[in-house]
Structure 1
Amino acid sequence: MSADAPGAPKALDRDKLFAARLQAARVRPYLATALFALHTVESTRVPTMAVDRYWRCYVSPAFVDRTPVEELAGVWVHEVSHLLRDHHGRGDRLARAHGLTGPGERLRMNIAADCEINDDVFGDGLVRPEGAVLPETLGLDPGQLMEEYLRRFSLGARTRDIAWLDCGSGADGLEREWDLGPDGAQGLSAQERDAVRFRVAQGITGRPGTVSKAWQRWAEEAFHPPQPWRDLLGAAIRSAAARSGAGEDYTYGRPARRSAGLPGVVLPSLRRMPPRVSVVIDTSASVSDAELGSALLEVAAISRAVGGRRDLVTVLPCDAAARFVHQLCRSEGIPLMGGGGTDLRTGFAKALASRPAPDVVVVLTDGQTPWPETRPPCRTVVGLFPRPYSNRSWDEDDPDYVPDSPPDWARVVDIG
């Protein structure tokens, strides 16, 4: 059947589609590298346009035919934003962490990701496409991330009219039947995808004042990706505990092999024990309640890192003075009392004076403290709560005060 015959499926109008992409690149030049990195795939199985994680863009010919070029430009920017903001990777992580399975949960992720993009991507020459989902559609405030939106709504009456929404696996991480997969043609490798993101981030940081706050935040994270601090903290503790002599004791339950050379003499052998960990928590006035709550979560994570032996973990709240040492196994709640100034040297001294002595000292602080002048006799891990640079040099009594950085002998991990 001829393509021009009545009832024949329309062919994809690539001239119109690519004119819309050029329009998108003109009004958002910092996204041009990403827009032209997308490989288009004609598909009648997608409702509008959709992307996969390998930077293919699946396009419905009927959608292109009925949509004005100005709105198509907005759709181009919308779809490439899913990929730049790693919505597929973030969707996968959310699914694993919270058990979000099934198409309904993935639809919620797609809607939440759309809200993150659509609340600030349009305007300034870019027309919002008809039917674009906004936070206001769900009764939510703008300016949030996908994870926050996902937490605040469920499928129901407000989402009934957008149940058709499908931006593809690039928006939520769930593969579709039409996906060409990792071995399909014209997909980008992981290195190529990272290179595109880096070039876009360069373009954004090079145009201060002409880019939205959301894109500026994204570019900063692209250059300085957040550390997986919980993994780093656990690894630092395990590394500290694995050193020679840490968590070791003599036992006669299994005599040493050297006993065979000394008839009549039984020599003890060394036995590896889980390390004893002393956690010093900064409870000064500069540490927020939310950060103290986060510190208690880290105490639980530390307990798991030492094999669940809660009796081997002690907690020591400290501001300008260290008061009580709490055994983790003796109470369900640890009272974090404090609120004054900060001098964690007293916390170090009290932790090291405990008997039995700790194998590892973990300090959770904002860094506004003097540090011991000498290296402790055990390994030290410092978890730093995030602080803007302007706040790191603040002191109400001395505006010129600049706190010391953690000493070189401590393993430092940024928390959050």
Structure 2
Amino acid sequence: MRPIERVDKPSDAVPHKLVGAEKTAPGGALDFEKLFAARLHAARVRPYLASALFALHPVETRQVPTMAVDRHWRCYVSPVFVARTPVEELAGVWVHEVSHLLRDHHGRSDRFAREHRLTGRGERLRMNIAADCEINDDVYGDGLVRPEGAVGPGSVGLPVGELMEEYLLKFAVGPSGWSTTWLDCGSGADGLERAWELGPGGSHGLTEQERDAVRFRVAEGIRGRPGSVPEGWRRWAEKAFHPPQAWRELLGAAVRSAAAGSGAGEDYTYGRPSRRSAGVPRAVLPSLRRMPPRVCVIIDTSASVSDAELGSAVLEVAAIARAVGGRRDLVRVLPCDAAAPFVHSLCGAEGIPLIGGGGTDLRAGFARALAAKPGPDVIVVMTDGQTPWPATRPPCRTVVGLFSRHGARNSWAEHDPEYVPDRPPAWARVVEIGSPGPTRS
């Protein structure tokens, strides 16, 4: 990793105060009119960020070199910095700081630090630099002037267009290179709380629900202006509306929920007498017992499904067997491409023959599953979605594990490059699974 030089730079040690009607900061008052004029300019040139910009609460302090934010959406402002900086540049700093919060750099920094076992202020400085590189490669221009000394990917010899986590793997803070220890965007940029921050118990901070509401409004504004928003912000808005999901947990919960549905596998048994028998002398009444559900797993084995995805499907079959209490005799596996010639009882997940490799028509799989006697209580389908679906709802619950195909248009093509499959029908519980691997030729 490329080293960056660290050079100490002194900072003022004047305690901060909340912005209010009084202007009593030692050494010169904060110019509120200039600060808020800059925020208004930022909202005019980046209207999709307006709700976030006006959600920030300013806090006056001389312990930051420029402006900084904490994770509770407070913006700490240096009066000296505001006095010497033109309004157009201040507007860019407003956008820069609110971008740290919208992109969750504090939470991402904490996760990166835990995963890589990073400690110390030097590592947090590195995270601040990497977060700045992620933001500054597309934040300026079109009405926002780049402030002097702003850190960007080009200034440290890094490629543009990457994420903070990718930048962190490509450089280090070392004895030669850059003088960046003055850089301090607050805990909102790197997750490390500062002594001058008000903390979670301070006034004017946003709750977690309020922060989520601000992000949602910004994402909604970005989606409403698709032609005037940088690509990085469009990707962020898409994730804000459709956040990554822990698909294994969701799929397991969907199967368990379907298996526990009313009317699934209920029968009377004398193996456990009814509690009502006490009210009927010299008679033994059967109790109503819920039997484990019968599950049929339809696995898409067409050519558009990769070997890695088939491996994921086999692992899920084993998990489904555990979800029904280990009763493998109640789980059947049905490989299907354009036809479904065989139904296999589950003995071991490693012994399932996943034959196929042609086109896809899972309607044949549904028909074969429903023709079995006794019929299934739950049907689980593992597919990439490149299939026609049954026209009518099956008489049992259906869960679809859908292999992800986001942003990979060519992977939709089986025989027609313009073919884009329909989404699974509304009567199926759909869970997005992972990301696609290379398809089999």
Band of TM-score, shorter chain: 0.7 to 0.9
* Partner secondary structure for residue 54 of structure 2: helix
- Aligned positions of 1:46-85 closer than 5 A: 46-64=64-82, 70-85=88-103
Say which SS state the counterpart of residue 273 (structure 2) adopts.
coil
SS at match of 1:37: coil
**Range with greater deviation from structure 2 (175-184 or 157-166):** 157-166
Once the 2 structures are TM-superposed, how far is the Cα of residue 320 of structure 1 from its aligned partner?
A: 2.0
Question: Structure 1 389/257 Cα, relative in aligned 2: closer, same or farther at 3 Å?
Answer: same
Where does residue 32 of structure 1 map in the other structure? 50
Q: Does 1:410 align with 2:428?
A: yes
Between the aligned partners of 2:160 and 2:191, the Cα distance in structure 1 is 23
Select 2:228's aligned residue among 210, 226, 229: 210
Q: Which of the residues 115, 128, 132 maps onto 2:133?
A: 115
- The answer to which of 130-139 and 229-238 deviates more is 130-139
Structure 1 gap ranges (5+) = none
**Mean Cα displacement is larger for which, 248-257 or 356-365?**
248-257
Which of 381, 389, 400 is the matching residue for 1:382?
400
Alignment match, 1:21: 39
**CA deviation after TM superposition for structure 1 residue 51, in Å:** 1.4
| Cα offset, 1:342, TM superposition | 0.4
- Matching residue within 212, 225, 232 for 2:242: 225
- Asked if structure 2 preserves the Cα contact closer than 8 Å seen for 1:383 and 1:413, the reply is yes
The answer to whether the 8 A contact 2:359-2:414 is kept is no
CA–CA separation in structure 2 for the residues paired with 1:44 and 1:341: 67
Kindly indicate whether the alpha-carbon contact (under 8 Å) linking 1:248 and 1:272 is maintained by their aligned counterparts in 2: yes
Aligned-pair CA distance for 1:81 = 0.9
**1:286 paired to 2:304:** yes
Larger deviation: 168-177 or 52-61?
168-177
CA separation of 1:414 and 1:396: change in aligned 2, threshold 3 A: closer
Extract unaligned runs of 5+ from structure 2.
Answer: 1-13, 15-25, 435-441
| Aligned amino acid, residue 203 of structure 2 | A
Query: Contact between 1:229 and 1:414, CA under 8 Å: does it hold in 2?
Result: no
Shift of 1:382: 1.5
Alignment check: 8 A CA contact 1:310 1:328 kept:
no
Following superposition, the deviation at residue 101 of structure 1 comes to 7.1
Amino acid at match of 2:361: D
Matched with 1:126 is: 144
Matched position secondary structure for 1:214? helix
Determine the structure 2 residue equivalent to 1:169.
187
Q: 1:239 aligns with which of 257, 270, 282?
A: 257
| 8 Å contact kept, 2:401–2:430 | yes
1:337 CA displacement: 5.1
Q: Distance in 2 between matches of 1:112 and 1:298?
A: 37
Distance in structure 2 (CA, Å) of the matches to 1:385 and 1:278: 18
Structure 2: distance between partners of 1:328 and 1:91: 45
Q: 2:105 aligns with which of 53, 77, 87?
A: 87
Percent identity, aligned pairs only?
A: 73
2: CA distance, partners of 1:165 / 1:308: 56
Task: Give 1:339's aligned residue.
Answer: 357
Closer/same/farther in 2, CA of residues 404 and 49 from structure 1, 3 Å limit: closer
Deviations 1:369-393 (A, max 9, x none): 1234554443211233445699699
Give the 3-state SS of the residue equivalent to 1:364 in structure 2.
strand
2: CA distance, partners of 1:63 / 1:310:
69
Contact 1:393 1:399 in 2 (8 A): no
Shift of residue 202, structure 1, vs aligned partner: 5.2
2:202 matched to which residue of 1? Answer: 184
Task: Report the CA distance shift for 1:381/1:15 in structure 2 as closer, same or farther (over 3 A).
Answer: same
Mapped to 1, the partners of 2:311 and 2:170 lie a distance apart of: 25
1:284 and 1:167 map into 2 onto residues whose CA distance is 51
CA–CA separation in structure 2 for the residues paired with 1:72 and 1:355: 72
- 1:360 is aligned to 378
Q: Which has the higher contact order (CA 8 A, sep 6+)?
A: 2
Residue 143 of structure 1 is matched in structure 2 by: 161
TM-score normalised by the chain length of structure 1: 0.73
Structure 2 CA distance for aligned equivalents of residues 392 and 261 of structure 1: 68
Q: Which amino acid aligns with 1:128?
A: R
Contact 1:303–1:309, Cα closer than 8 Å, also in 2? yes
Q: In structure 1, how many angstroms separate the alpha carbons of the residues matched to 2:138 and 2:419?
A: 39
Alpha-carbon distance in structure 2 between the residues aligned to 1:301 and 1:94: 30
Q: After TM superposition, give the deviation of residue 271 of structure 1 in Å.
A: 4.9
- Give me the whole-angstrom Cα distance separating, in 2, the residues matched to 1:21 and 1:181: 24
What root-mean-square deviation, in Å, do the aligned CA atoms of Structure 1 and Structure 2 show?
4.6
CA offset at residue 93 of structure 1? 6.5
Structure 2 length normalisation: TM-score? 0.70
Q: Is the 8 A contact 1:283 1:319 kept in 2?
A: yes
By how many angstroms is 1:111 displaced?
Answer: 4.3
